[in-house]
Amino acid sequence: MSALTVKDLEHLQRQNPDYQMELVGGEIIIMSPSGLESDEVAAAIIAQLSNWIRPRRLGRVTASSAGFILPNTDHDVRAPDAAFIRAERLKKTTENYAEVVPDLIFEVKSKSDYLTKLRQKIQAFLTTGTQIGVLVDPRTRTIEVYRLNAEKMILQDGEILTVPEVLPGWELPLSEIWAPEF
């Protein structure tokens, strides 16, 4: 069987609109629902990003359904849980998969995710042009920050994430992204 393409993914997505899919190494991966906690954390991150970026017209913020065609040999289509693309890199939105890699991505670990797979996904983005990839683990209340050819940085609950090379002045207090208890 030959490797599947972006056109194959688009066709399958039209036939199965209720499924979220990614194209990785020529194979279709069906993404399962993540669970409440991880999605709530992703929504908080997206809200924090949007509240900073939109008024300043710095770029676009996307959620887990936005697909990005990676400029690798397989032309993978991947969808991070949250992403930021600078305005000058994508001046107008598209209803298709974006043919640009985001500048910043977030992956939020759900109970069914494996850390190894999430780290591999982040590395795939970094090696194709993403500047910063962040792995968020709600269970341990930690984040891992990845930059290409740099040591990962680990932040704990109560610390503040900054990414001055992508969003100068923006701060993400980790204590504000975790699912609250009432």
Q: What band does 18 get if pLDDT is binned at 50, 70 and 90? A: confident
pLDDT in tens, 51-83: 999 999 999 999 998 999 999 878 899 999 999
pLDDT in tens, 111-158: 989 999 999 999 999 999 999 999 999 999 999 999 999 999 999 999
Q: For the chain, give the DSSP string.
A: -PPP-HHHHHHHHHH-TTSEEEEETTEEEEEPP--HHHHHHHHHHHHHHHHHHHHHT-EEEEETT--EE-SSTT--EE--SEEEEEGGG-SS--SS-BSS--SEEEEE--TT--HHHHHHHHHHHHHTT-SEEEEEETTTTEEEEEETTS--EEEETT-EEE-TTTSTT-EEEGGGTSPP--
What pTM was estimated for this model as a whole? 0.91
Q: Tell me the domain boundaries of the chain.
A: 33-176
Q: Is 33-176 a CATH 3.90.1570.10 domain?
A: yes
